[in-house]
Amino acid sequence: MEKKPYDSPGGYSEYNSSPTRVPAHDPPPVHPDEASWPESTLWKGRRIKKTDIKKFYRLDDDDLQELEFKTDDRWIETPKNKKRSGILVDTKRYKEREVERIAWRKHGGPEGFKAYLDLLKERWDQAQAKKQPADRKPFPAPVSYVPSQAK
């Protein structure tokens, strides 16, 4: 049998020395009946930046393709040679309810998404426990996320 690059021991690829990515949890259960999902608790007009979507909902550009967005101009200050200057950038803002729905769909429904965030939070807390208290950061999650109680 011919050995393929991804068959190497330890899950390392010969093309890349880093370990292969392990999913945060098992594949989500299929919940095709979205009509049975609860209504979102988010305000209907709430919008979220694309950067925050990636950070809080763990979605990528492919997940957001079907969503409409609003573009705003935003001034970002960039210190340069001890002078204050900046640049004007376009910021994409999406309806957060629609983003939440995409995350639910991707992870098997509201319960699947919450289980995914619970697992990520557990890993996050373990990593933060190794840091000095002043260096610890809160877990990045959507405002609607309420973590499960520790077991």
Q: For every one of its 151 residues, what pLDDT tens digit does the chain have, with 9 covering 90 and above?
A: 454 444 444 444 444 444 444 455 555 555 667 888 999 999 999 999 999 999 999 999 999 999 999 998 888 887 776 666 788 888 999 999 999 999 999 998 999 999 999 999 999 999 999 999 999 999 999 999 988 765 5
Strand order in the sheet with 47-49: 47-49, 83-95, 69-80
Phi, psi for residue 95 in degrees, rounded to 5: -70, 120
Of 98, 113, 115, nearest in space to 42 by CA: 98
Residue 124 CA to its chain's centroid (Å): 13
Residue 78: what pLDDT? 78
Distances (CA, A) of 5 to 1, 8, 21, 23: 13, 6, 15, 20
Residue 29: what pLDDT? 57
Domain boundaries, given as residue ranges, for the chain: 47-122
